[in-house]
Amino acid sequence: MLNLILFGPPGAGKGTQSEQLIDAYNLKHISTGDLLRAERKAGTELGIKANEYIAKGELVPDEVVVGMVRNFMKEHSSSKGFIFDGFPRTTPQAEALDNLLSEFGAKIDIVLGLEVIVDELVKRLLLRGETSGRADDQSEETIRNRFKEYQTKTLPLMDYYTKKNSYVGVNGMGEIDHIQSSLREEINKVL
């Protein structure tokens, strides 16, 4: 199995880069944000509850997100591996992911951190908000709160994975294809 995390703040390009990587390496894409939005669209209890957090730019409780990831992985247990996009977001989520993967006899092989300066992130999110219909991309206040959540709860994971020797930072500014090549270069090193 090949399991990788695309790490980075909102707007870093995790979703965009995942699209090409899943085809190139035959992996399953797990975007917890997409899963939560699908639940909301389907009007499930989980989706309605999650939206209270999403609308404010806050993080959905760990057990909810971890449960969703566990279900997804079990449903796709024959997959060659997973790309985790937007997950884990907290240390307890990272620990839960390690445990989940060990049930598959697998581990996180590499964490690719997309590095983008804040001004560029805000610009990208507001631009995406014009077409995505995502309310959390349209309000500067919500965007600011998402960054705050990232700084306080998610950024410590950089240290968590650096200690495990799996974190690699990649320049996330510039051409999409160029960034894709940099990511593949790093992935190919651990294959």
**Rounded Cα–Cα distance for residues 7 and 72 (Å):** 19
Given a contact cutoff of 8 angstroms between Cβ atoms, the answer to whether 67 and 97 are in contact is no
> 80 to 109, contacts with ligand C5P by CB under 6 A?
86-87, 89
Of the pair 49, 134, the CB lying nearest Mg ion is at 134
Of the pair 20, 104, the CB lying nearest Mg ion is at 20
> 12 to 51, contacts with Mg ion by CB under 5 A?
15
How near is the Cβ of 39 to ligand C5P at its closest, in Å?
Answer: 11
The binding track of 118-157 with respect to ligand C5P, each residue x by CB under 6 A or -, is: ------------------x---------x-----------
What are the backbone angles phi and psi of residue 168, rounded to the nearest 5°?
-135, 125
Burial of 178 (C-beta count, 10 Å sphere; 0-12/13-18/19+): exposed
Asked if 92 is part of the footprint of Mg ion (rule: CB under 5 A), the reply reads: no
Secondary structure letter of residue 178 according to DSSP: H
Q: How many CB atoms lie within 10 A of CB 10?
A: 22
Interface residues toward ligand C5P, by CB under 6 A: 10, 32-33, 36, 53-54, 57-60, 65, 86-87, 89, 136, 146
